[in-house]
Every structure is written in C-alpha cells, then in structure tokens.
Amino acid sequence: MAAPHSPRSDDWWRDAVIYQVYPRSFADGDGDGTGDLAGVRARLPHLAELGVDAVWFTPWYASPMVDGGYDVADYRAIDPAFGTLAEAEKLIAEARELGIRTLVDIVPNHVSDRHPWFRAALEAGPGSPERERFHFRPGRGEHGELPPNAWPSQFSGTTWTRVPDGEWYLHLFTPEQPDLNWAHPDVRREHEDVLRFWFDRGVAGVRIDSAALLVKDPALADFEEGADPHPYIDRDELHDIYRSWRAIADEYGAVFVGEVWLPDAERFARYLRPDELHTAFNFTFLTCPWEVGRLRRTIDATLAEHAPVGAPATWVLCNHDVTRTVTRYGRADTAFDFAAKRFGTPTDLDLGTRRARAAALLTLALPGSVYLYQGEELGLPEADIPPERIQDPMHFRSGGIDPGRDGCRVPLPWEAEAPWYGFGSDGEPWLPQPEDWAHHAVDRQRTDPGSMLTLYREALSLRRSEKGFGDGPMTWLPAEDGVLAFARTDGLRCVVNLSDVPAALPPHERLLLASGPLRADGTLPRDTAVWLRA
C-alpha cells in the first residue's frame, strides 16, 4: 500500500483529488444488499491505494430514500441501513489516519416529507407558524384546485402538491422533497447548526446540494422564460447565506464545494468570491463533448472565470446523476444533457473507454482539483437496468422516457469470482449488476498493468509526486489540428490527440505516462493522451 499521505497545508483542497462515494452502492458490510459504512470502512485501503486526498459521501443520513438519500429526514442521524453515527465518526477518523479527508453532503433546498418539521407543518394546518418553514399556499382557481404557480420542476412534472386541507406546497423535485423557506430564520439557524454538528465530528468539507436553488421569489410569481431574476435560480439573496456559512467553515478550516449548475460564467464565479464557497463543480466541463475545440474553449473559459475570484477550478467527468464517462464517450453524441437521455442509445464501449482513459490524464493534468466518482477508476459503463428494477424518481416523473440515473449507481464489483462480485456476502444487491462485469472487478484490475485502475493509480501517484500538477499556471503549446497540448511548471507536458491523424510528440526527456500504446513510430494515436517531462 502507498505510504499514508502527509497532511498538506490548509490549501489541500486547491488541488485535491476527491473521490465520491455513493454509500448505497460502494460496499455492503452486513450482506443485506445495500452498501453501508461497515463496507466503506473495510474498503478504505482501496481508496488509500488509489491515492485520493478526500472522500465525499452522498447523503448518508436517515432518509426514506425516495431520491437516493437526497430526501433527508434527520441530518444528525445516519440511516440505519448504512450504520450508526458512532460508525460514521470511526470512519471519519480511520480515513484521516490514511490521509483521506471526509466531505459530507448537505441538502439545504429541501427535506424529506418525513422530516419532523414537515410532519408538524402538515398537522398544524393553514396559517400556522409550522407551515412558514415551507412554501404552503392556497391554490388558484375557483376552489383552489389549481397549483399556485406553474414553476418548472428540476425533475419533470409538477412542482406543487395539494394536501388534504386544500393548501399546496412547493417541491422543485419530488413531492417527497418539500422545499424549505430560506426567508425563515429557523431554516438558516438549523443549517448553521447542522454544519457545526458535522465539522465537530471531524468533517473537512461539505458539498452543497442544489446550491443555487434555495431562495425563492417571495411573491412566487409565475415563471416567464428569460425572467431576470429567475424566480428560484441564482437569486442574489443566496450570497448572504453562503457568507455566513463561510464564516462557520473558517472557524474549522473546512471547505465547501457547491453544486451550482449555471451557464453564466460571471454569475457562477460570484459563488466563489473569497468570502463565499471555496469551490464549485465544473458542470460546463462535465457536459462538454469529446471534441477538441469545445474542450479547449471550455478549459479556457473555466480558468478565465475562476481567475478573478482566485478560486481553483474543479474538473469533473461524471457523478451519480449523469451517464458514466465510458458510455457517454462511446456514443455519437458525447455531450451530456439530462433531457437527451434515452433507452437503447448505441454505444461503442471500446471507443468510450479509450477516450475516458485519455480524459483521465487530461483532467488530472489541469490546474485545480479533480472529482472522481466511484467506479470511474474501474471504467464502469452505464448499466442497463431492467424496467421493473428501476428506482430513480427521475425515470418515473419523465413518464418512463428517461432511463433515470440508476445505471450509474450499480453496486461496485470488487472480486471477479465472488457472488455479487464481492459487493456483499448474502443479499442480492439493491440494483442488479450486469453479468459481464467480472473484468471490471477491483481484484482483476489491480494486477493488470493495462487496466483503468492501474492507470488511475499511476496517474494519481505521479500527480502527487510532481509538484507541477495541481493548482498553478498552464500554457497551451503549439499543436497540430485536433491535438490539445499544454505545459505545466517543472517541465510537465500533457498532450491529447483527438484527431484521426497520428500526432508527433513535442520534444521531451521522458514519457511519464500514456493512456494507451503509442504507435511503432512513436506518434500518438487517436483518443490517446500522454504526460511528458520536457
């Protein structure tokens, strides 16, 4: 196993590699078919060997799991299916001993309809103070039979649900995820307290779910295309919330990463001002097609938008909401768009894997931090989930058109020959694993020099030992059409060929790492990347 990482300075997050754990599907310690904290603890050596700096856990709190845990019933309790709070504390400490910091996921926009606040609001009835913590309103129409407005949902379908006493409540996601009223002081106080609760338990950072959606137009005015400000996206009042969160994080030396989906670069960067969030996910890069001009423009735009606020960029290829990288890159349309997801899209996995390997070296060479979603290091493709096993509400709310997100959430394969690929010992995993995943299993890949896992381990190890990677400047180098070539400090170079024409490598002293074999004449084939020392 690699030596434990020496703790870095307070700036560790500026160039960290952060591994996303989806606890339900990582490893099942008690054999009931659902991943849990015991499973994560047992598999921590995998993460240490891989060489990540931190782990971000998607919500592990008590939840009815209507939306995979993004429907939180109690922020201060671990869901019993995952374990206990004491176990979470042990896990945080054990990971830290291996040099791995922990980030938790806070979901401030909404709670579960099982949350005590929402139960109390239902019981207390119209006009009660309990209802003020949410957005309850009478309906429109003669008998209040129409929803208060026609705001579009973040999942398809309606954003309002009527309760038996006739009032309606707002939910940007499913009806089981009522939106909180962020104009209410209880809501602010409670979240500040929850942040402290987890920072007190040694958590080094927080991922903020739906970070740009919290504040709503108080008039709940109807939505008009192009409305500025938008009634619920990116409202100016949000920044005040994050300033007070930042003050709390600073007391603990903890950091934030915001889930901020915003096309406007200048508006996006506002969340990253020095007294707000430390970082935010780079969804422009995640959705970018595998196309040389688009990639280069996206990289340039990302660096340009971060520079004025002094925040490091993040590089993300995939997460628990989107199509897995090797699948996306193996399709005719290599961009990602929620609205375009369909069953049965033709996919060339060999092509996608080749590109995903090159993309791994590209992202890990760029300035800033990198997010890695569990299974990405194994080159897992998106799985086809039989319709009767699908659980994701996005599928159901689309009327069955969108396959949903379960295909990227399938329990991990650890051992090629074991039942359920070693995910757990007894119970069938909560989502079915494809029959042909043995070659993706960790134990097969560990000893295979050509595997995705070996590539990631080598890349992460080099990225750690070579100080020129991570945060810092980058310069584009002259390159042939279809080729991305850039220099980092210390003579480090990254070259990626996205064209059909083999590319000559720039002069170099040493080839540090390649995502695939070079041609016999030393040129770089299509969809291949190298790291060089000049």
Just list the catalytic residues: 209, 251
Task: Enumerate residues 307-326 that contact ligand NOJ by CB under 6 A.
Answer: 320-321
Spatial strand order in the sheet of 255-258:
279-280, 255-258, 205-208, 101-106, 54-57, 17-21, 369-373, 314-316
Tell me which residue has its CB nearest to ligand NOJ.
70
| Residue from the set 25, 210, 314, 323 that interacts with ligand NOJ by CB under 6 A | 210
213 binds ligand NOJ (CB under 6 A): no
Please name which of 324, 347, 317, 326 lies closest in space to residue 408, comparing C-alpha atoms. Answer: 324
Cβ at position 89, least distance to ligand NOJ in Å: 25
Site pattern 22..61 for ligand NOJ (x: CB under 6 A): ----------------------------------------
The mark string for 181-200 relative to ligand NOJ (x by CB under 6 A, - otherwise) is --------------------
Q: Per-residue string for binding with ligand NOJ, 259-278, x by CB under 6 A?
A: x-------------------
Q: What crossing angle do the helices spanning 452-465 and 349-365 adopt, rounded to 10°?
A: 10
Site string for ligand NOJ, 353-392 (x = CB under 6 A): ----------------------------------------
At its nearest, how many Å lie between ligand NOJ and the CB of residue 102? 18
**Of 173, 283, 285, 329, the one binding ligand NOJ by CB under 6 A:** 173
User: Shortest Cβ distance from residue 63 to ligand NOJ (Å)?
Assistant: 11
At 303, give phi and psi (nearest 5°).
-65, -40
Mask: binding to ligand NOJ, 54-83, rule CB under 6 A, as x and -?
A: -------------xx-x-------------
| Residue 109: CB minimum distance to ligand NOJ, A | 7
Q: How many CB atoms lie within 10 A of CB 228?
A: 6
- What span, in angstroms and rounded, lies between the C-alpha atoms of 75 and 78? 8
Residue 517 tokens read as: 């074999």
Residue 179 is a binding residue for ligand NOJ (CB under 6 A): no
Q: Evaluate whether 359 touches 334 at the Cβ level (below 8 Å).
A: no
Sheet holding 136-137: strands in order across? 136-137, 168-170, 160-162
Exposed/middle/buried for 416, CB within 10 Å: 0-12, 13-18, 19+? middle
Q: How far apart are CA 230 and CA 236, in angstroms?
A: 10
- Cis ω before 229 (30° cut-off from 0): yes
Nearer to ligand NOJ, 28 or 71 (CB): 71
Residue 431 CB, shortest distance to ligand NOJ, in Å, is 15
**CB of 450 vs ligand NOJ, minimal distance in Å:** 33
Q: Rounded to the nearest whole angstrom, what is the least distance from the CB of residue 248 to ligand NOJ in the complex?
A: 22
Q: Is 107 in the site for ligand NOJ (CB under 6 A)?
A: yes
Other CB atoms closer than 10 Å to residue 326's CB: what's the count?
29
Nearer CB in complex with ligand NOJ: 341/357? 341
CA distances for 423 relative to 37, 317, 383, angstroms: 13, 24, 16
Sequence-distant (≥ 6) Cβ neighbours of residue 219 within 8 angstroms: none
Phi/psi for 194 (5° steps) reads -65, -40
Number of residues counted as binding ligand NOJ (CB under 6 A): 10
* Choice between 99 and 393, CB closer to ligand NOJ: 393
For ligand NOJ, the closer of residues 319 and 528 by Cβ is: 319
Report the interface residues with ligand NOJ, using CB under 6 A. 67-68, 70, 107, 173, 209-210, 259, 320-321
